[in-house]
Structure 1
Amino acid sequence: MSTALDTLNRRAVLGDAPVVAPRIVHLGLGAFHRAHQAWYTAHAADAADWTIAAFTGRSPKAAQELSAQDGLYTLIERTAAGDRAEIMSVIVEADAADDVARLKQLLAAPETALVTLTITEPAYRLRADGGPDADDPAVASDIEALRAGRDPQTALGRLLAGLDARRRADAGPIAIVPCDNIPDNGPFVRGGILALAEAVDTGLAAWIESEVSFVSTSVDRITPRTTDADREAAEALTGLADASPVVTEPFSDWVLSGDFPNGRPQWEAAGARFVDDIEPYEQRKLLLLNGAHSLLAYMGLLRGHATVAEAMADPTCRGWVREFWDEAVRHLPAELEMDEYRRKLEERFDNARIAHHLAQIAMEGATKLAVRIIPVLRAERDAGRSGAASIRALGAWTQMVLSGAGVQDAKQPAIDAALRSEDRVRALLALLDQGIAEDEDIVAAVKAVRIQEGS
């Protein structure tokens, strides 16, 4: 295809409009951040005053691609009726994760108001009780590096280095806004960063207690990985070549609870909600959307499906999802309009033009299932019910692991150890919840789950 321009670039799209210095720093630059927090910032009522400097996660590729395009990218909202493209200019700087010097500069700037995080659950490297995992070599190395003034290598270690730079610059308060699917993610990150700071410098920990707020969030927008076909679609829609477009669904949701001592964008103009108690919203999303996604991932793959929409087109999978929802909603507040929320979820899952791959959702199962499925199972058992739908999800995961399918998981060494156990299923369940693994009835029920490949 011939294009009006070879690639996206800021001057061609925006002319000579001045670039506003970033007031938001983001850790974990990826498709979801660009479809969610960046989108809300670009659509805030005061968007002209806010831009983002973003750092990658494990790979520098996203920074390289976006830097070549002056931070611009195409956001494609994909509906059953067609595509709508928007060129996003809110990210004005994209850096590799290991550029700790630049991160320190940005966090030491008084105008930097907040840090958002989408680093995925395992990347926090925290134990179940919220403390740093001292048995993790990367965490132990970071503590020594931070004590010695060297650059750390983990996400929280780098964030702590940046906060220390802000303290030393006397740059004032700042908000940390985690946007990962973790219950009580604000207190979770606060506890982890404070414990890490205590291990490095008690003075830094005291400063964080006084000057840093931690905002809890619930985030929602299905954003699959970008494909070559998506790049072709972006070029067809805009006439511009884009190496790094993002495809997402029209639906989005963002609920936040906490303080922003140095200001924030007017995200509510874009539909964000600020509430006093976020737990009901995050639990609804975590259990109904994320829990169903994990259920579909393992069962769908075992039944020969590749995407969420394909799995939902399988009546058996759809029935299992509905049964799991029946279990989950019994333990959520009725005032959250569960029937309407479930109806919208089915519509979203049925959108075959959003190719949300089950293999992607299936990654990090040992971490995800512990917060998406185990709470429902425990609540059902405590109420005297079997928890059969939740058990089915655990059975599908254990079968997937036992099959040797090679699904990516940060806990793979522990999984490998479990697979060497005499009772492999019980050992796998212990990675999710020790109490569940000690319940003979549940272990037997998980082993009894049978999933046959569908047509």
Structure 2
Amino acid sequence: MTGTPLRRNPASAAAAPPRIVHLGLGAFHRAHQAWYTAHAADAADWTIAAFTGRAPRAADELSRQNGLYTLIERGPDRDRAEIVPTIAEAHPAGDVARLEELLAAPATALVTLTITEPAYRLRPDGTLDVTDAAVVADIAALRARAAPATPLGRLLSGLRARRSADAGPIAIVPCDNLPDNGARVRAALTGLARAVDPALEAWLREQTSVVSTSVDRITPRATDADRATAAALTGFYDASPVVAEPFADWVLCGRFPNGRPQWETAGARFVDDIGPWERRKLLLLNGAHSLLASQGLLRGHTTVAEAMSDPGIRAWVERYWDEAVRHLPAELDLDAYRRALAERFANARIAHHLAQIAEDGATKLALRVVPVLRAERAAGRGGDASLGAIAAWIRLVRTGAAARDAKQPAIERARRSADPVRALLAVLDPGIATDDVAAAVTAAEPATVGAA
């Protein structure tokens, strides 16, 4: 593809050093936190140094473009594009030396995270899984002053450098779909620090604030056609554009002891209790996404919009929402939120691929759908719609059609066991691996397949 390469004009390069460090450089971060920062009233004072979560490709592409990228907002009728200038540096995940240097700088005020739910290496109760092989290896590496491999291990290495530099307090802002993500990330970090150096744990408790968040913006993977669209709309060739729906939401709760951008001027909300907002989004949007992914793939659909246009699946989503809203505060205007979600899901111009949503399905279902099932059954109801989402995932696993999953070894052991349904339920949550739930899932499994 030809066109003028997207490059930053050296004369317009930001003179100020990055004040935000981000772990998990990907499409969602660029459509969300980086976009909010670019639209803040004091955007000129804030730039981001971002590190990839897995592969280095995004860092390589953005580095060649001096951090610039195109954001395409894809509405039901048309596209609009803007070039976002917020990312000043892009690095591969393994550049721990640069991460330590940035976090040791007093000007660095906060760290944001979009590393995906499984990357936190948490047990079902929300604590760090210190038996996880990667966590065990990180503890040994951190004790030996070697480079750790997991995102939290790298973050802790950077925070240790900040402590050594006496650089002052800092805020940590997880932006992944974990319930009570601030408390969980604080517990995971302090648990890791405790295993490495109790003095480091004490410093974390005194000098770091972990902010809880709820984030929302549908961001499908960009395609070659999107690169062509970016060039047509801006006049520049962008190797790494981002596509997102027009809707965006960000709710935050917590302290920023070293300052923050004025994100509220870009539409973010700061609240005293994030729990209700977080649960609304996690159960209604993310839970429905997991249901659509499993049911849709079984019926041969490829995108959210395709699955939502299937009357059978649409009805299943509505029944699931009926179950979920029983366990959410009515003052969150749940009827309006459901209507908005249905419209967003039906936007056929957003190619949000079910295979992408289905990745790491075990962790996602445990966080998004299992809580609804538990609440329904505790109330004396069957939780049939929640069970249907779980049964569809189990059918995908048993037929070998499930997407890649961080829990694949446990899933494979369960799949080969004498009682695979009950064993797979235990992978999601041991508390639901009971005879009656297993029998209900087995009975529901045949209903999860059929003509589209």
User: TM-score scaled to structure 2, two decimals?
Assistant: 0.98
Deviations 1:383-436, CA, capped at 9 Å, x for gaps: 111111111111101001011014110000000100111111110001112121
In structure 2, the partner of 1:381 is 377
Equivalent of residue 232 in structure 1, options 200, 208, 228: 228
Amino acid at match of 2:441: V
Q: CA deviation at 1:278?
A: 0.3
Q: CA deviation at 1:358?
A: 0.4
In structure 1, the partner of 2:20 is 24
| Whole-angstrom CA distance in 2 between matches of 1:430 and 1:208 | 34
In structure 1, the partner of 2:65 is 69
| Whole-angstrom CA distance in 2 between matches of 1:126 and 1:294 | 20
In structure 1, the partner of 2:8 is 10
Amino acid at match of 1:443: A
Secondary structure of the residue aligned to 1:98 is: coil
Q: What are the residue-to-residue correspondences of 1:305-344 with 2, within 5 Å?
A: 305-344=301-340
Q: What are the residue-to-residue correspondences of 1:139-158 with 2, within 5 Å?
A: 139-158=135-154
| Whole-angstrom CA distance in 2 between matches of 1:232 and 1:170 | 48
Q: CA deviation at 1:126?
A: 2.1
| Whole-angstrom CA distance in 2 between matches of 1:406 and 1:311 | 17
Secondary structure of the residue aligned to 2:418 is: coil
1:102 aligns with 2:98: yes
Unaligned runs of 5+ residues in structure 1 are none
| Whole-angstrom CA distance in 1 between matches of 2:393 and 2:402 | 12
Q: CA deviation at 1:141?
A: 1.3
Q: CA deviation at 1:2?
A: 5.6
In structure 2, the partner of 1:356 is 352
Secondary structure of the residue aligned to 1:444 is: helix
In structure 1, the partner of 2:442 is 447
In structure 2, the partner of 1:248 is 244
Q: CA deviation at 1:128?
A: 2.4
Q: What are the residue-to-residue correspondences of 1:369-448 with 2, within 5 Å?
A: 369-438=365-434, 440-448=435-443
Deviations 1:129-182, CA, capped at 9 Å, x for gaps: 333323222211111111111111111110000000000000000000000000
Amino acid at match of 1:445: A
Secondary structure of the residue aligned to 2:450 is: coil
Cα 1:380/1:8, change in 2 over 3 Å: same
Secondary structure of the residue aligned to 2:12 is: coil
Deviations 1:58-102, CA, capped at 9 Å, x for gaps: 100000000000000000000011000000110010001000000
Secondary structure of the residue aligned to 1:29 is: coil
In structure 2, the partner of 1:192 is 188
Cα 1:289/1:332, change in 2 over 3 Å: same
Deviations 1:213-255, CA, capped at 9 Å, x for gaps: 0000000000001111111111111111000000000000000
Amino acid at match of 2:437: I
Equivalent of residue 213 in structure 1, options 201, 209, 215: 209
Deviations 1:290-310, CA, capped at 9 Å, x for gaps: 000000000011011000000
Q: CA deviation at 1:16?
A: 3.5
| Whole-angstrom CA distance in 2 between matches of 1:245 and 1:202 | 43
1:46 aligns with 2:42: yes
User: TM-score scaled to structure 1, two decimals?
Assistant: 0.97
Q: CA RMSD in A?
A: 1.1
Count of aligned pairs: 450
In structure 2, the partner of 1:116 is 112
Amino acid at match of 2:254: G
Deviations 1:293-339, CA, capped at 9 Å, x for gaps: 00000001101100000001111111000000000000000000001
| Whole-angstrom CA distance in 2 between matches of 1:18 and 1:90 | 9
Amino acid at match of 1:454: A
Aligned residues of 2:14 and 2:88 also touching (Cα < 8 A)? no
| Whole-angstrom CA distance in 2 between matches of 1:417 and 1:2 | 49
| Whole-angstrom CA distance in 2 between matches of 1:299 and 1:144 | 42
Q: CA deviation at 1:17?
A: 4.8
Unaligned runs of 5+ residues in structure 2 are none
Cα 1:16/1:216, change in 2 over 3 Å: closer
